[in-house]
A and B are shown apart, each in its own frame.
Chain A
Amino acid sequence: SQQGEEDPQALSIQEGENATMNCSYKTSINNLQWYRQNSGRGLVHLILIRSNEREKHSGRLRVTLDTSKKSSSLLITASRAADTASYFCATPPPTDSWGKLQFGAGTQVVVTP
């Protein structure tokens, strides 16, 4: 079963615009991770934000975490065509269960030139 739900399912923007996607999860977490997947390829880790952090930046990426609302957002600023991909949030289990990283349904982002 999925831990996270993402919103929107799909997003179409033009180059230079910002893209925001949201992730909601159900149980308590110690961290939340964001991954990118280009069409039919492997996943690339983007950012890991821990439960005691509220915001984290990496280049043009900004991730926020609100544990009271059990939600996270990923903002891509000044988007480029190369940002076209599916973006997934992922959470580990609340208990000490090895390796059960569970992915949300994903947001498909298309950036047009």
Chain B
Amino acid sequence: DTEVTQTPKHLVMGMTNKKSLKCEQHMGHRAMYWYKQKAKKPPELMFVYSYEKLSINESVPSRFSPECPNSSLLNLHLHALQPEDSALYLCASSQSGARMNTEAFFGQGTRLTVV
């Protein structure tokens, strides 16, 4: 199984809502990532978890809150988002996080629209 599964595929939320994005992988990868991608732009790293601990936070606003309940799951909790947060949110995993010596596997993404 070389899949990274993200749910939901699409999400529309109001600025006062609280929602969560979910990501799951069963490849035994110990590094998991959240990326944000705006239209016609490359993905931008948000968070990295290695061995279920947050190792990188790219100065992401606190309205985005990541969580790694176990080695297979990664969540991104959303609260009080702004319309400019509308984007494709991508989850990825890799066997090794250090120096990225192996490829990353990406999910299909969650298309988020904040209204």
Contact = CB atoms under 8 A, between A and B. Distances in A.
Interface stretch (A63-71, A74-82, A99-107): A99-107
Contacts, number: 78
A43 B94 contact: no
Interface residues of A, number: 27
B101 interface: yes
Contacts of A48: 102-103
Contacts of B105: 45
Q: Which of B40, B99, B107, B111 has the most CB of A within 10 A?
A: B99
Main secondary structure of the interface of B (DSSP, over half): strand
A100 B90 contact: no
A41 B98 contact: no
B30 to A, nearest CB: 10
Interface size class of B (residues with CB under 8 A): 20 to 34
A20 interface: no
Interface string B71-115: 000000000000000001010101001111111111111010000
Contacts of A113: none
A105 B101 contact: no
28 contacts: A31-B101, A33-B100, A33-B103, A40-B88, A40-B111, A42-B106, A42-B107, A42-B108, A43-B43, A43-B90, A43-B92, A45-B104, A88-B43, A92-B100, A92-B101, A93-B99, A96-B99, A98-B31, A98-B50, A99-B45, A99-B56, A99-B94, A99-B100, A100-B56, A101-B45, A102-B45, A103-B43, A108-B40
Interface of B: 4, 6, 31, 33, 40-43, 45, 48, 50, 55-56, 88, 90, 92, 94, 97-109, 111
